Amino acid sequence: MKDKNILKRMNGIDDDLIDEAMHYKKTNYIKYIASIAAVCIVVFSAIYFIKDKPEEEYAYSKDEPVVENEKNTDKIVFNDLSLSSSDMKIAVDGYFCYDLTVEQIKNIFGDLDLSGIVSYTSKEQKADIFEVNLNDDTTDITIAPKKIIDCYQLVGDEKLSTIEGIDVLIGVQELNKNKINYYAEFKKDDLYFKLECFGEKEDKEDFLKSIYDLIHIKKVDLFSLENPIIPNLKDKDLTENELIKEEDFGKYMIIPKGYVFNSAGRVITQHDDYLYASWSKGSGYFEIRIFKLKDEDKNRVVEDINDLTLYDLSLYPIPRADTVPENLRDIVDNPIFKIEDLSMKILSRRKENYIVFSTLYKDNVIIEIRGKDLNLEKILMKLKEKIK
């Protein structure tokens, strides 16, 4: 998908705009796109310009115009991005999402080879579009009715670029010696756009052309994505006393004695359905999550307790990313033991500075335990009592 072809396929772009963009340079325009977690943004911690190389080596300076034609002069300014936090989680009330169909993508954006999701925020059976994400292997495109929240911070004062008369914030961040995160955001036709590309230094020109590509598409109409079917959702905080009374999983709850209650709740999303609670005691803690066995959990069930490679942590020195075989990582990280198999001998093979394990009951209920400085004998006794 090269040259004029992609611009024509992005719906109703005039030929003079295509020629204008092609004057800038021929290339694959939207060649990058990558998947994102709409409720969790991971921040990287470096800056783009390598300090030991002169700025003249880069295709564009930070402050000089880079595109000139008869109609306008565009100015490109790169801002340095820095780390704002190691992990930012965005709370979205009544969040849910759906995969976009090929037909939906075609109707809104043209006949492009993209995948994506539309996410919503809901309250009292009314849903509003939160954002639309399009992606392939190396780029994110986000389009939203409201300003897009991100977790990047600029180094120094914000400097805006001007492209086709639109103010664009462009940022760059060096992830390692060769890999670069390119970032751009702008507002057009009352919608907010964010473009994030992961590549190398020589991909900077392609990234800039992707910005031009997004600016040149016809007005995006999200009307067809409105009024979705709202799934059954729940995110209710519970008190300690309410835990054992919870109708679905309350009878499986374990409340530790001598611990300070932190939080608890009942959560139902499109993909998860669980009861959780946490307590603390000094430097220790106890966390429990109760849910039904799903297909994605079945590869973590220990079918043969004599196979120590499935759960014995002493077999895998730290760092375990280097010592645990890839096909065993999920089960070694958090094995699910059948309640009739669970014993202190097994738990002793899991205990380190902290412990993580899960227990499966006959009705396919799973109790997941995470903690530090726990009395495992008492916990095992409580788990066994749930059989009755």
Minimal CA–CA distance to 59: which of 212, 231, 274, 203? 203
Distance CA 177, CA 111 (A): 36
Distance CA 5, CA 22 (A): 11
Secondary structure class of 308 (helix, strand, coil): helix
Minimal CA–CA distance to 370: which of 289, 252, 295, 281? 289
CA–CA distances in Å: residue 357 to residues 99, 256, 275, 305: 32, 17, 16, 14
Residue 253 CB burial class (10 angstroms; 0-12, 13-18, ≥19): buried
How many C-beta atoms lie closer than 10 Å to residue 56's C-beta?
A: 6
Q: Model pTM?
A: 0.60
Minimal CA–CA distance to 192: which of 137, 138, 129, 136? 129
Tokens 């669980």: give the residue. 274
Q: Any idea what the Cα angle at residue 121 is, between residues 115 and 127, rounded to 5°?
A: 100
Joined together, the tokens standing for residue 271 give 């993909």
Question: Over the Cα atoms of the chain, what is R_g?
Answer: 26
**Do residues 153 and 88 lie in contact, with contact meaning Cβ atoms separated by under 8 Å?**
no
Domain ranges of the chain: 4-225, 234-385
- H/E element holding 357? strand 355-360
- Per-residue model confidence as pLDDT tens for the chain (388 residues): 333 333 333 444 444 443 443 333 333 323 222 333 333 333 333 323 333 333 333 333 344 444 444 445 788 989 988 755 444 455 677 888 999 998 888 888 876 678 999 999 988 788 999 999 998 888 889 999 998 877 677 778 889 999 989 999 999 888 777 788 899 999 999 999 999 998 888 888 899 998 998 898 888 889 889 989 888 888 899 999 999 999 999 999 999 999 999 999 999 988 899 999 999 999 999 999 999 999 999 999 999 999 999 999 999 999 999 999 999 999 999 999 999 999 999 999 998 889 999 999 999 999 999 999 999 999 999 999 998 6
- H/E element holding 210? helix 204-216
Half-sphere exposure of 46 (CA within 13 A, CB side): 14
